[in-house]
Structure 1
């Protein structure tokens, strides 16, 4: 994407690498900008929650409900995990 058509990206190389890996535009921009900011450390694990694979399907469904993910009642556990990660 031409630089003039997108919001300010502070680390273009990281942004482009993440886009090639399949990250969404907003997520790639957020991570690239965090990497460029000396006050943050985006590689360090921040939360204390276990990975989604350790959650029950009911827990995943409730989190999907909180995030208002459409079609959540028809999704399998692995689909819920994918939807939550892409949100």
Structure 2
């Protein structure tokens, strides 16, 4: 057994999560996850979405840009 406490890859992040009131187990899982240390706990931010004409602008602006607008488009999933 290496010690009383299991090793955590990102000790600094682990301590901050514990200070926020997170359980030891959950804080350790997050601190040990591969993406958490490189991103610093931030979301991946996949960028802009394509093909979703239900977001952004008025119907007139969408039509001017060559996109469909209105309720029928927003309901489509």
Global fold match (TM > 0.5): no
Length-normalised TM-score, structure 2: 0.42
Length-normalised TM-score, structure 1: 0.37
Question: Going by fraction, where is helix more abundant, 1 or 2?
Answer: 1
Higher Cα radius of gyration: 2
